[in-house]
Amino acid sequence: MMEICDRNPNNERSLSRRMFLKVGGWLVMAAGMLRIPGISLAQGKPEVISGNVRFPGKAGTVGGYLSRPAGTGPFPAVIVIHENRGVTEYIQDVTKNLAHEGYVGLSVNLVSRSLGPDYPGGSDEAMKALGQLSDADAMADLDAGMAYLQKQPVVFTNSIGCMGFCMGGRFSLLFAEHNKDLKAAVVFYGRTINKINPLQPKSPLDLAPEMAAPLLGNYGAADAGIPVDSVKQLEEALRKNNKTFDIKVYPEAKHAFHRQGPNYHAEAAKDAWKRSIDWLAKYLKKG
């Protein structure tokens, strides 16, 4: 036990409480840093402040999970676009780790319209609601997230990018074509060609000529849901239209290779995260 020289009972209680809070904060931060496989965080990364937020949207209040460096900023920002199960612990960890890299991360809760702005991810209800979400409504809620970030004093308003996973990877492609304020986009295994669905009238491939943001893509050759040929078609369309992009296909990686689970691929996850951080730094931390 640490000896406290000042024997004033009030001071002793105060010091003990401060020490408890500080140690507790370190432990919480360390736990958050270790959750995502494939992400190695060096010592000296900034502490972060994280929590739920709300902001106005086209159809009502939109919820989100925000994490930012503890300093005053301003910092560049990244909109994190979640998978088809909502804002899960994994997505929160991605958002926090972006904050450790010096970004204000905001995961927009895309079930806000149907289940409420504070509805947690990970449930079958969230998955069902997201299956009924149209592209137009998703883009409107992501636009609301962009507008919210642009109003924050802690954010560089002209240095905002996005990063999406699975369903969110497809939305990241669409958002890079939709919102001209976006300065960089990262896609983890986002579908490039739609199945027949009236809620998804256009494929990302069809909209490639409208791509505004520099695009980084991370895909798996063993992804049963996203054929490699469709990724190659996207590359060809981007090249034909003189877009800035870098797409890598990992030979043995399956869908969702970055998230802990049966398809997790350590080598691909680590490399894709490093590529993503380098890409964001190149386009969001210029100057």
Fill in the DSSP letter of residue 203. -
Query: Which of helix, strand or coil describes residue 69?
Result: strand
Instruction: Give the sign of the dihedral formed by CA 146, CA 259, CA 32, CA 278.
Output: negative
φ/ψ region of 11 (left if φ > 0, alpha if ψ in -120 to 50, else beta) reads alpha
Active site residues: 166, 223, 255
- Asked if 174 contacts 164 with a C-beta cutoff of 8 angstroms, the reply is no
Please state the φ and ψ torsions of residue 17, each to the nearest 5 degrees: -65, -40
Q: How far apart are CA 176 and CA 191, in angstroms?
A: 14
- Asked if 193 contacts 226 with a C-beta cutoff of 8 angstroms, the reply is no
Closest CA to 56 of 117, 111, 105: 117
- Asked if 204 contacts 187 with a C-beta cutoff of 8 angstroms, the reply is no
Neighbours of 105 (CB within 10 A): 29
- Asked if 130 contacts 140 with a C-beta cutoff of 8 angstroms, the reply is no
Residue 150 CA, distance from chain mean position:
17
Amino acid identity, residue 203? S
Closest CA to 284 of 137, 74, 122: 74
Instruction: Give the sign of the dihedral formed by CA 122, CA 128, CA 134, CA 140.
Output: negative
